[in-house]
Amino acid sequence: MIKRLARCIREYKLPSLLSPICMIGEVTMEIFVPLVLAELLRQGIEPGYMPAVWKYGGLLALCALCSLAFGVASAFFAAYASTGFARNLRHDMFAKVQTFDFANIDKFSTSSIVTRMTSDVATLQMTFQMSIRMIFRTPVMLVMALIMAFRISPRLSIIYCITLPLLAFGLFVLIKLVHPIFERVFKTYDKLNNVVQENVRGIRVVKSFVRESAETEKFTETSDRIYKDFVKAERIMAFNNPLMQFAVYTCIIVISYLGAQLVVGGELDAPALTTMFTYTSQILMGLMMMSMVFVMFTMSRAPMQRAYEILTEEPQLQNPANPVTEVADGSIDFEHVSFRYAKTAGRNALDQIDLHIASGMTVGILGGTGSSKSTLVQLIPRLYDVTEGTLKVGGVDVRSYDIHALRDQVSVVLQKNVLFSGTIKENLRWGNPNATDEEMEHACKLACAHDFIVSFPDGYDTHIEQGGTNVSGGQKQRLCIARALLKKPKILILDDSTSAVDTRTDAMIRQAFREEIPGTTKLIIAQRVASVQDADMILVLDGGRIAAQGDHETLLKTSPIYREVYESQVKGGEE
């Protein structure tokens, strides 16, 4: 896992190396300073010898300057390397998400992908920055200070052999306690993001249903959980400091007591004892910093795992080895097709569908919500793979096609269609990047969008806000249809795409389709019988099965469901 993440360092290898190297320089200086200080005391201040004071004082200042320079350089390189690392990581994750198919996105959920690419990456950036500085600093400092202490007085240094393991054990226990809490916190973050995202995206709906207080409650609850967990973790981590203080002062007292005896006995001089104190605090500080690094790693293990999951997720829909790149015609065949969204799902969303649609046919699809209408049509451009059976387009299994070639020929206006921020033209060009103005206008006329577009002051250059909030629902739907038409597909699928368009315009669009693109196979999912009444074939779906099939006249005679829907709508219209 760490190996894959480390691959994101790429062009930032040099600063990633320089930072710890400078750090070692800084630590060396820090270890050196107490020694110089001891000499200053021993040779300069105690005998009152001025030249020695100047000499060692100057050396001391030089050491301090070097230490400062190394410290600044190390911090700079660390910041530079870590921001670069984060950039590459985000880039890799984004590129990977672009390859995801619908099933991958269902698995992670949009909000989780967003959290992983933002706050998780930020945590990893911080971890990376801290770790390249600390990972060498602490052990080097610990070891160097220990060596120096042992050189000054092996007898006094025995004390470390007792305190260090005790302190290490204490810190280990703390980390063990804290770890599961942090793991939980990151899961809760996902939930929090989910609540925020869902709310903000649907803020208009939230407002119109006056659900603000309920939504706030949901948010507060999740937020509180994070708060409680953090408090719990911090409460445990708070023991870190007293533990540390206790160890430091115990050491100092013991060293003072034993050291004083040594000094009196003439085995050690006073400056050496001062130096011992400094090393003592350096050693214990080193250990504490090490424990902090551990805690940090603990905290970032979850984000690491989560970023890694995105990087290694493989889309299940892969291009075949020798893909077919030409779609012969717009015929569609379902042969015993069954489909379920997840392997673990309790029931099939589609069950044993057998269906033949000839090229150029217009097919209407009716059915209650949840009857799997959308599911049925999403299989055709291979947005999902069938679970059982075969689905053929143009006489060839969809799994044999090059995915891009297939999707170019099968244009879907999804039920949850979206426009992206940009001008109308830019949005239309999603359908065909090379479309000329005439082609765009033609497509918009077919979709009955031309008239309202030219009525905007900026016409085709009108700016669409994010999510298409500055056009009406019906206008958005017509723009999406035009965008799909620009692909000049062999199969056009409209998933409830005229639900917000008035009946007259709806009829005009259908008429334009009939007259202008007769060769294109058209699948129209609709709520209104009127929208599909004149289709060559109408399917009535119920619970993932085809309940009835035939043209309007036949269905009126044979299908009670169809007759019922038809009568209720026609009567509703007449009243």
Ligand X SMILES: Nc1ncnc2c1ncn2[C@@H]1O[C@H](COP(=O)(O)OP(=O)(O)O)[C@@H](O)[C@H]1O
Q: Which residue of 80, 341, 430, 452 would you call a contact of ligand X, by CB under 6 A?
A: 341
Beta bridge partners of 491: 410, 521
Min dist CB 540 to ligand X, Å, is 11
* Phi-psi group of 367: left, alpha or beta (phi > 0 → left; psi -120 to 50 → alpha; rest → beta): left
Closest by Cα among 122, 119, 121, 125 to 192:
119
Closest by Cα among 390, 401, 411, 155 to 267:
155
User: Which of Mg ion, ligand X, none does residue 191 bind to, with CB < 5 to 8 Å depending on kind?
Assistant: none
Q: Which residue of 28, 216, 415, 462 would you call a contact of Mg ion, by CB under 5 A?
A: 415
CB of 190 closer than 8 Å to CB of 112: yes
Q: Which is nearer to Mg ion, 300 or 417 (CB)?
A: 417
Angle between helices 240-265 and 154-201 (to 10 degrees): 160
Min dist CB 362 to ligand X, Å, is 19
Q: Which residue of 90, 373, 450, 522 would you call a contact of ligand X, by CB under 6 A?
A: 373
Alpha-carbon gap, residue 96 to 105, rounded angstroms: 11
Q: Which is nearer to ligand X, 323 or 543 (CB)?
A: 543
Min dist CB 370 to ligand X, Å, is 4
User: Which of ligand X, Mg ion, none does residue 111 bind to, with CB < 5 to 8 Å depending on kind?
Assistant: none
CB of 509 closer than 8 Å to CB of 498: yes
Q: Which residue of 344, 369, 434, 436 would you call a contact of ligand X, by CB under 6 A?
A: 369
Q: Which residue of 82, 127, 291, 375 would you call a contact of ligand X, by CB under 6 A?
A: 375
Q: Which is nearer to ligand X, 374 or 531 (CB)?
A: 374
Alpha-carbon gap, residue 339 to 330, rounded angstroms: 22
**Size of site (CB under 6 A) for ligand X:** 11
Residue nearest to Mg ion (CB): 374
Site string for ligand X, 49-88 (x = CB under 6 A): ----------------------------------------
CB of 291 closer than 8 Å to CB of 171: yes
Closest by Cα among 438, 499, 511, 448 to 478:
448
User: Which of ligand X, Mg ion, none does residue 367 bind to, with CB < 5 to 8 Å depending on kind?
Assistant: ligand X
User: Which of Mg ion, ligand X, none does residue 497 bind to, with CB < 5 to 8 Å depending on kind?
Assistant: none
Task: Mark the segment that binds ligand X (CB under 6 A) among 27-35, 193-201, 369-377, 402-410.
Answer: 369-377
Q: Is 106 in the site for ligand X (CB under 6 A)?
A: yes
Min dist CB 498 to ligand X, Å, is 15
Can you give the length of the chain in residues? 575
**Size of site (CB under 5 A) for Mg ion:** 2
Q: Which is nearer to Mg ion, 125 or 374 (CB)?
A: 374
Task: Mark the segment that binds ligand X (CB under 6 A) among 4-12, 54-62, 263-271, 370-378.
Answer: 370-378
Residue nearest to ligand X (CB): 374
Site string for Mg ion, 366-385 (x = CB under 5 A): --------x-----------
The torsion of the CA quartet 276, 277, 283, 285, rounded to 10 degrees, works out to: -160
Q: Which is nearer to ligand X, 131 or 387 (CB)?
A: 387
Q: Which residue of 367, 381, 431, 468 would you call a contact of ligand X, by CB under 6 A?
A: 367
Chain CA centroid to CA 486, Å: 32
Alpha-carbon gap, residue 571 to 567, rounded angstroms: 6
Which DSSP letter does residue 520 get? S
Min dist CB 146 to ligand X, Å, is 59
Q: Which is nearer to Mg ion, 106 or 267 (CB)?
A: 106
Q: Which is nearer to ligand X, 78 or 526 (CB)?
A: 526
Closest by Cα among 518, 551, 549 to 376:
549
Task: Mark the segment that binds ligand X (CB under 6 A) among 165-173, 218-226, 244-252, 368-376.
Answer: 368-376
Q: Which is nearer to Mg ion, 78 or 376 (CB)?
A: 376
Beta bridge partners of 353: 337
Q: Which is nearer to Mg ion, 185 or 492 (CB)?
A: 492
Q: Is 371 in the site for ligand X (CB under 6 A)?
A: yes
Residues 6+ apart with CB under 8 A from 220: none
CB of 351 closer than 8 Å to CB of 338: yes
With b for 16 or more beta-carbon neighbours within 10 A and e for fewer, the 290-300 pattern comes to: bbbbbbbbbbb
CA distances 197 to 189, 193, 202, 467, 532, Å, are: 12, 6, 8, 14, 36
Residues 6+ apart with CB under 8 A from 361: 521, 522, 536, 537
Min dist CB 172 to ligand X, Å, is 44
With b for 16 or more beta-carbon neighbours within 10 A and e for fewer, the 28-54 pattern comes to: bbbbbbbbbbbbbbbbbeeeeeeebbe
Q: Which residue of 370, 459, 467, 518 would you call a contact of ligand X, by CB under 6 A?
A: 370
Q: Which is nearer to Mg ion, 43 or 415 (CB)?
A: 415
* Residue ranges binding ligand X (CB under 6 A): 106, 341, 349, 367, 369-375
* Residue ranges binding Mg ion (CB under 5 A): 374, 415
